[in-house]
A and B are shown apart, each in its own frame.
Chain A
Amino acid sequence: MSAPHRPVGDRFRRYRSGRGGGEQLTVPPAEFTSYYGRPILKPPVWKWDIAAYLFTGGLAAGSSLLAAGGQLTGRPALRRAGRVTSLAAVTASAYFLVNDLGRPARFHHMLRVAKPTSPMSVGTWILTVFGPAAGVAAVAEAAPWLPERGVLGVGRRLLPAAGRAAGLVAAATAPALATYTGVLLAGTAVPSWHEAYPELPTIFAGSALASGAGVGLLAAPCAQAGPARRMAVAGAALELWGAHRVETRLGLLSEPYRTGVPGRLLRAGRTLTAAGVLGALVGRRSRLLSGLSGAALLAASVATRFGIFHGGVASARDPKYTVVPQRARVDRRAAGS
């Protein structure tokens, strides 16, 4: 194929698969045809903002659960850290989402409709509920600093209650916020996202829990951090199980998650998660070790999100991932009929 005088027609016509280097594929297609090797699909135009949002959105969800738990079980350190992190993360999320728009000034057009067929529309409304709730909950943490008299004094008295209610609203919305993003990615034609639709919400839920737990481990004294450790274990379990599934279950479409940059990110995520969980379990007496574990879990969540994001992008860029599975489907149908 590399001969310089190949005619244009021959160029790019056929590709050998499995050039990822030595890895066994469950579906080894012989060769496939494409149009000059050009992608059939348009790769997502989303910039890194969206991958970052996947993390911050999950972090907001996880930490608001942490906050609610702390609120309900009397662990103020978890509550405070969770609420503040949640607001910070949801604010960053809003920034990322608006920044990624082609026309940021039109962000409010998202509120024109509510469309169940559009995961993005659903997500918009989830964020619309979650964001203010997380905000009120976080602001409530400032109540003790308010003066006792005057208008602000009224606030000082009312805020804690409002914060409690808002915290619970945010926590109730949080699982939706953490998992809808799985549908957001799967609800596309991007092969390695779409086919991973059963696992993506689970991975993201786990990642959200783990990152929320990470905040708890970082912020709370060891005495209050127990639930965070348990959350870390549960989150890591969900995340690792889901990631393992997408890396192995999808045949050819698992390839993008195992190779290249996405493969490295996901491997890093796995290692960091394991380290974080391990650290959280063995370091329950050590503030330092707990903190490091929390940081590892947060980093793991970042790596996993970027890994999943770029894995999908890679699958859209190479026509192989579009053609081979579809061609196999057509051939199966033809053989069956």
Chain B
Amino acid sequence: MAEAHPVGFQWVMEAKRRGAKVFHVDPRFTRTSAVADSYLPIRAGTDIALLGGVVRHILENELDFREYVLAYTNAATIVSDQFADTEDLDGLFSGYRPDTGSYDTSSWQYAGHEGHAEITGTGKERDSAAGLRHESHGMPVPAPAQRDETLQHPRCVYQILRRHFARYTPEMVERVCGIPQDKFLELADAWAANSGRERTGALVYSVGWTQHSVGVQYIRTGAIIQTLLGNMGRPGGGILALRGHASIQGSTDIPTLYNLLPGYLPMPHHADHETFDDWVDSIRHPGQKGFWGDSRAYAASLLKAYWGDAATPENDFCYDHLPRMTGDHGTYQQVLNMIDGKIRGYFLLGQNPAVGSAHGRAQRLGMANLDWLVVRDLFLIESATFWKNSPEVATGEIVPEQCRTEVFFLPAASHVEKEGTFTQTQRLLQWREKAVDPPGDARSELWFFYHLGRRLRERLAGSPHPRDRALLDLTWDYPTHGPHAEPSAEAVLREINGYEVATGRPLSAFTQARDDGSTAIGCWIYTGVYADGVNQAARRRSRHEQDWVAAQWGWAWPANRRTLYNRASADPQGRPWSERKKYVWWDPDAGEWTGYDVPDFEKTKPPTYRPPEGASGVAAIAGDDAFVMQGDGKAWLYAPSGVLDGPLPAHYEPAESPMRNPLYGQQANPTRKVYEHPVNSVNPSPPEAHSAVFPYVFTVSRLTEHHTAGGMSRTVRPLAELQPEMFVEVSPELAAEAGLTHLGWAHLVSGRAAIEAKVLVTDRLTPLRVDGRIIHQLWLPYHFGTEGLVTGDSANDLFGITLDPNVLIQESKVGTCDVRPGRRPTGPALLDLVADYRRRAGITPQRRVPIVTTDAAGGGDAAGSTDERSPQASADEHDGGGDA
């Protein structure tokens, strides 16, 4: 955190100054470790084993916050007797369909709900990253579930959890992660000791957790711990994602994702959501508890905001103008489609996939096979110049004179050169003013899209084609100002907030949304940010002039609520759990919920409220159902649906690992998304043969001195000079083993690429004793590329494409490689080197990645040491893009 988020880290240091104990778990000793009280080295990709160990430690020692767990979680809920755990199936859950590599989740349901599973194992949910839409939804639970408040029922969630995590012992944690048992117990005890009635703990994670083939389950495991310890919905608790850069939260709320519309409304699928009603009902689940019951109003208001006067109840608010998903439109599928010639044009906005995305070679080969590419960025980045100076130009795979892609580079205004909001991890919107005018031709994204839309509409005016109606019917009437006709960002925020169509009056709460076309809302969860016609995100009342919740600084969605599910900060009877952690509580005299924050509960619904038989939507939420967006009002320790790779987290080895999974027969996530494509490959892992060809684990992350793909730091001298060269960090032991010298060159080889870097030999990396053997880990920064003041090979080139099944995030935090002293070859010889490794590793065009682990795949590594390289690599192993 000190490395990548030094500014946020000030609060960790502040806590430490006040006596907090700081633990740091990381494959390498970082700037965070340097100021932590305790550092735990870990083998990359094994966090579920560590966290699972914490879950077990809590359960076995009964360290959970039992009253909280009983009242607010599904610990007591009885699960279907058809459910079979990884314990029973050696690493698989019941319902696995080998043909699609996905689960039929019927058997995961609560007892009595077996027929209601939404997901039946077709893989369609995975293609559309359906898991992501539950970021704020919660999944439906059709009817009241059976519970055993004594937690003794063998099929209650609590007991299932105990059995599932029983094997995650401290010994196992040490064996899998390489973390000494005493260090692990110190961590687990400290976590539990700082949770409960009087204390709370927050869990803060970043992309080191998410960018894995089991990334979602990492967070799930953290969530189970936080829920067991009563750290959700309470002050000082929670799970917070530290995003890679500013307003990533905002770009999920108002998404730049193919499967979501603003406010987490799912993008309709062409087969399932033919009509507006089909679509809306798939969101609101008629009969279900919770606030999603009103989603028809949110959806109608969104379409009304899009298409204004043209959108009427009679034409389903122009629902047919909405594009439909047909399958996987994720960024990696897109790249493969580009290589295959299926995609002609591409917009890149503040993104540098040539450096920042996994499998850089595939990214560049894809972009080199377009008709046109628009790049909007602050500087000329690698994704705009790949056609003339990428590694593929050196190898002859891209010939500048023949590259067909026409690249349009349009300079962009930076965040200080335009106004707008940032939404941070606490869902807090903060308005920022423009500080300076953008230089030269640089323009804001708002300007770009507004004027692009305006010109397109001018071109299409009078078009008789129905296909052009969606564009022509859009409301596209933002006021502009200044010499360059900059659209008003406040006007956009106002539209996002929503307004009454008849009067134009801004709405003040999403409960005012209507499904009759009388309201238009750009993003329903943001309703209130422009309440009373005032830009609430621009509020900057000093913390000295308000209480510690600081509700008048900026504006948090929803409804300026700073902590979600804060009903859980009071006990079932509505009383604060403790005076120290008092936050939101029931005031019996006033007959309403009150406290420091906006209560995340119906204001006047008493704790004693019990829904009448047959109630649905909000009315079905009982007075002690704190998790109001969930189908059963409970926090889910066990997720009967919504997570595609299992109702509980299980440790799987990364897609590429030098180790056999010590926990289960199943080696890697059986539902991970693997693209079988000539350009893509996965290094073999045990029990498959030849895994020793790539004996080392490598992981990548950020340096404080650089920003992501380097476009904003390698181009700036005061930053570039602070970390001027690509390097790789190795332990003294690995340096000795591989013959590397400090500040000398090394090159790293995976099945995709070979890159070179200067060597830093440092004690900050250490070999780990894991499952009886020594595992060497290497660390690389991923900031370097061919443009800017400082250049170097891109670490992400080493990665292949393997994705998490829930949200289609790539596994780009761990992989396997070989490392050798000296510089890499250049030109075609580079391809030969990689091809030789592929041949030795048995990566042939015929090979299929073993998704489900079978013993048949076992076998020794026949290829022997790296010295047995063959200089001849047959031409058919150059199975790259080929069409560049």
Contact = CB atoms under 8 A, between A and B. Distances in A.
User: Do any beta carbons of A and B sit within 8 angstroms of each other in the complex?
Assistant: yes
A9 B762 contact: yes
Interface string A1-20: 00011111101000000000
A9 B763 contact: yes
Contacts of A4: 735, 740-742, 744
B498 interface: no
Contacts, number: 27
B742 A6 contact: yes
Residue among A8, A9, A11 with max Cβ neighbours from chain B (10 Å): A8
B736 interface: yes
A310 to B, nearest CB: 30
B704 to A, nearest CB: 17
B761 interface: yes
A11 B763 CA distance: 12
B39 to A, nearest CB: 15
Contacts of B763: 7, 9
A21 B534 CA distance: 80
Interface string B729-770: 000100110001110100000000000000011110000000
Nearest to B738: A5
Nearest to B740: A5
Contacts of A9: 762-763
A5 B735 CA distance: 6
B762 A5 contact: no
Interface residues of A, number: 7
B820 to A, nearest CB: 15
A11 B762 CA distance: 10
A5 B761 CA distance: 6
A8 B760 contact: yes
B486 to A, nearest CB: 47
A4 B730 CA distance: 13
Interface string B67-85: 0000000000000000000
A5 B760 contact: no
Contacts of B760: 8
Interface in B204-255: none
Contacts of B742: 4-8, 11
A8 B760 CA distance: 7
Interface string B539-573: 00000000000000000000000000000000000
A9 B740 CA distance: 16
A169 to B, nearest CB: 54
Interface in B251-299: none
Interface in A288-309: none
Nearest to A5: B735
B28 to A, nearest CB: 13
Contacts of B735: 4-5
How large, as a class, is the contact surface on chain B? 10 to 19
Interface in A1-51: 4-9, 11
Nearest to B821: A4
Nearest to B743: A8
A9 B732 CA distance: 11
A6 B732 CA distance: 6
A247 to B, nearest CB: 38
Contacts of B740: 4-5
Contacts of A8: 742, 760-762
Contacts of B741: 4-5
Nearest to B744: A4
Nearest to A7: B763
A5 B741 CA distance: 5
Interface in A196-240: none
A313 to B, nearest CB: 27
A37 B843 CA distance: 48
A332 B827 CA distance: 63
A5 B763 CA distance: 10
Contacts of A6: 732, 742, 761
A7 B762 contact: yes
A8 to B, nearest CB: 5
A7 B736 CA distance: 11
B255 to A, nearest CB: 44
A150 B724 CA distance: 74
Identify which of A4, A6, A8 gathers the most chain B CB atoms within 10 Å of its CB: A4
A4 to B, nearest CB: 4
Contacts of A11: 742
A103 to B, nearest CB: 25
A9 B763 CA distance: 8
Contacts of B744: 4
A36 B744 CA distance: 17
Contacts of A5: 732, 735-736, 740-742, 761
Contacts of B762: 7-9
Nearest to B729: A8
Contacts of B736: 5
A51 B762 CA distance: 43
B237 to A, nearest CB: 39
A309 B763 CA distance: 41
A5 B729 CA distance: 12
A242 B344 CA distance: 85
A144 B736 CA distance: 83
A11 B744 CA distance: 14
A303 B720 CA distance: 45
A7 B760 CA distance: 8
A5 B762 CA distance: 9
Interface string B178-194: 00000000000000000
A27 B742 CA distance: 34
A8 B744 CA distance: 13
A11 B741 CA distance: 12
Contacts of A7: 732, 742, 761-763
A334 B760 CA distance: 38
A83 to B, nearest CB: 55
A4 B732 CA distance: 9
A68 to B, nearest CB: 58
A4 B740 CA distance: 7
Contacts of B761: 5-8
Interface string B804-840: 0000000000000000000000000000000000000
A8 B741 CA distance: 11
A9 B742 CA distance: 11
A4 B742 CA distance: 6
Of residues B735, B742, B760, B762, which shows the largest number of chain A Cβ atoms within 10 Å of its Cβ? B742
Output the residue of A4, A5, A8 with the most chain B CB within 10 A: A5
A149 B784 CA distance: 83
Nearest to B760: A8
A5 B776 CA distance: 15
A5 to B, nearest CB: 4
A3 B762 CA distance: 13
Nearest to A11: B742
A273 to B, nearest CB: 47
A301 B242 CA distance: 69
Interface in A267-302: none
A102 B732 CA distance: 45
A5 B734 CA distance: 9
Nearest to B739: A4
Nearest to B764: A7
Interface in A117-168: none
Interface in B759-791: 760-763
**A-B residue pairs, 7 tightest by C-beta:** A5-B735, A4-B741, A7-B763, A5-B736, A5-B732, A7-B732, A7-B762
Given A4-B741, A6-B732, A9-B762, 7 more contacts: A4-B742, A5-B740, A5-B761, A6-B761, A7-B732, A8-B760, A11-B742
18 contacts: A4-B735, A4-B741, A4-B742, A4-B744, A5-B735, A5-B740, A5-B741, A5-B742, A6-B732, A6-B742, A6-B761, A7-B742, A7-B761, A7-B762, A7-B763, A9-B762, A9-B763, A11-B742
